[in-house]
Chains A and B, each alone.
Chain A
Amino acid sequence: MATVPVAEGVFTFPSDDPQLIGSRCADCGMVTFPAQGSCPRCGSTGMEEHLLARRGSLWAWTTQSFPPPPPYAGPAGKDFVPFGVGYVVLGDEVKVEARLTEHDPEKLAHGMEVELVLVPFRTDDDGNEVVTFAFRPAAPGPHAAHQRGRQ
């Protein structure tokens, strides 16, 4: 069984440190995700590939507690696993909507640091494991660990 990305050109794959593949307008600097051929701000067609930051902060979030209707292709019925969804500010240049690995509202917060991971979410007709991108709560930095240690 091979591991395959949900679609080509969405994130670098395979990669130990995957990054989302966006585009940047050569004329006005607008950054989009995924990459697109024209700029939604200035209309330029001079868009260049642009890799996005792997860590960011959670700008808005919710949970997906029921299996979405088609065209959702992941596990449904009793196999459905709830997931979080949010917009993540990356590199102060774009907000990307993504799955969150965490779906417990108690463990999600506006402004929390998150990082990109690839997660398996279904098996395709050929038996391949299909992976998509998601953000997970980032490992606490040294400062946060120090704070917790003092309590």
Chain B
Amino acid sequence: MDVAIVGVGLHPFGRFGDTTAIEMGAVAIRKALADAGVEWKDIEFAFAGSYEVDNPDAVVALMGLTGIPFTDVYNGCATAASALTLAANTIRLGESRLGIAVGMDKHPPGAFGADPRLYACPEWYGDVGQFVTTKFFGMKINKYMHDHGISERTLARAAAKNYRNGSLNENAFRRKPLSEDEILGSPYLNYPLTQYMFCSPDEGAAAVILCPAEDAHKYTSTPIYLRATTVRTRRLGAFEVHHPWLPIEETVGPTVDASRAAYEMAGIGPDDVDVIQLQDTDAGAEIIHLAENGFCADGDQEQLYADGATEIDGPLPVNTDGGLIANGEPVGASGLRQIHEIVLQLRGQAGDRQVPGDPRVGYTQLYGAPGTAGVSILTR
């Protein structure tokens, strides 16, 4: 059964003082309900994702205690992809006809800290200062640049493009454009990645309402169809975060596996995609992910970014809302923010950042620790 998205809602991403994650989740839900023209009592089931909130289903206290099945999910940076996948599968089961996936988070400033033992890593790995996600991204892009001839200027071009796109997005955290030279001139955090090439954990919420495709026109004249949602984890030999060692044998990362499965599920190829959302935890991640998701060959990014191919008006528009670099990453909500942007783009409602040429196919990808990826493909 085909699944349609008939409503999307977003609480802006950024920092919001005493406003709780649950309150932001309720704002996103109300916006999605209004977008679909339905009420909370019409929703038959829900999935909610959060890193910081133990029980994001507590949002019913603000929405209404209607007794629906409401399941909380957490799956690292792919949390929202997991919530969306579960919601879509629930529709496909055929027993429920209107459901919602919501993500919400409120992270303190600074990088994530955690107990390495919870990631199957030894305690000393944290003690000596190696249990650090940003240094993995530094190593991964540094090696990728060495192997495929990517320059630091290209990293800066990717980051500058996302700040520029964020300046066109009223919901973004960082709305001030930064020049390539400012980005290159900020301090290295983990070589070759500088401070302004990284996203920040922050706060926000997003929600998506789904129904069977055959019901979609009851709610909207512009349904967006969810052609594929996939989640994959790393296989032995993938170069992944939080690994004190790697085997000699090498294989592709979980993004490649999730991407191939999604293209197969959708019957759509990368050449058909008109607008793209990629996980840009850092500028290097966006560059690697462009190839891992099939949009170019390894190394082509050097010319593509120089030519402006990934700009809003280019042939491969990437992170039109500013991506994680401009929006930050409230982990539970980040992937639904990607879906929100693709839905606006495919409806032609993205305003100043609308991709020209009547885009018909959108693509989203999430990636995070300890080696989990999620991909979605959407069409008009």
Contact = CB atoms under 8 A, between A and B. Distances in A.
A65 B245 contact: no
Given A69-B111, A74-B129, A86-B139, A97 B245 contact: yes
A114 interface: no
Nearest to A66: B189
B127 A59 contact: no
Contacts of B239: 60
A27 to B, nearest CB: 15
A7 interface: yes
Interface of B: 110-113, 115-116, 122-124, 126-132, 135, 138-140, 142-143, 146, 187-193, 236, 239, 243-248
A64 B243 CA distance: 16
13 contacts: A7-B127, A33-B244, A60-B239, A61-B143, A62-B191, A65-B188, A66-B189, A71-B123, A73-B128, A97-B130, A97-B245, A98-B130, A132-B127
Contacts of B246: 87, 94-95, 97
Q: How large is the interface on A (under 10, 10 to 19, 20 to 34, 35 or more residues)?
A: 35 or more
A68 B138 CA distance: 14
Top 8 closest A-B pairs, CB basis? A62-B138, A71-B126, A7-B124, A33-B245, A60-B143, A69-B113, A95-B246, A63-B191
Contacts of A85: 130, 135, 138-139, 190
B135 A92 contact: no
A51 interface: no
Given A59-B143, A110-B143, 20 more contacts: A6-B128, A22-B245, A34-B244, A41-B247, A61-B139, A62-B139, A62-B191, A62-B192, A63-B191, A64-B135, A65-B189, A66-B189, A71-B123, A85-B130, A89-B248, A93-B248, A94-B245, A94-B248, A97-B245, A99-B130
A22 B248 CA distance: 14
A71 B135 contact: no
Contacts of A32: 245
B123 A7 contact: yes
Contacts of B139: 60-62, 85-87
Given A6-B124, A6-B128, A60 B140 contact: yes
Nearest to A93: B248
Given A10-B124, A60-B139, A99-B128, A40 B248 contact: no
B191 A73 contact: no
Interface of A: 6-7, 10, 22, 30-34, 40-41, 59-74, 83, 85-87, 89, 92-99, 105, 110, 121, 132
A72 B127 contact: yes
A148 B189 CA distance: 34
A108 B247 CA distance: 22
B132 A63 contact: no
B308 to A, nearest CB: 28
Nearest to A35: B122
Contacts of A22: 245
Given A62-B142, A68-B132, A97 B243 contact: yes
A64 B128 contact: no
A96 B142 CA distance: 17
A61 B127 CA distance: 19
A64 B126 contact: no
B122 A69 contact: no
B144 to A, nearest CB: 9
Contact of B191 (A6, A70, A95, A105): A105
B305 to A, nearest CB: 21
A96 B111 CA distance: 24
Given A61-B142, A62-B135, A71 B189 contact: no
Contacts of A68: 111, 129, 131-132
A32 B116 CA distance: 17
B191 A65 contact: yes
Contact of A71 (B131, B146, B244, B247): B131
Contact of A72 (B122, B131, B143, B245): B131
Contacts of B236: 40-41
A95 B115 contact: no
A73 B128 CA distance: 7
B141 to A, nearest CB: 9
Contact of A60 (B122, B142, B193): B142
Given A63-B188, A110-B143, A71 B113 contact: yes
B143 A83 contact: no
A71 B127 contact: yes
Contacts of A87: 139, 245-246
B244 A72 contact: no
Nearest to B124: A7
Given A65-B187, A71-B115, A105-B191, A121 B128 contact: yes
A96 B122 CA distance: 14
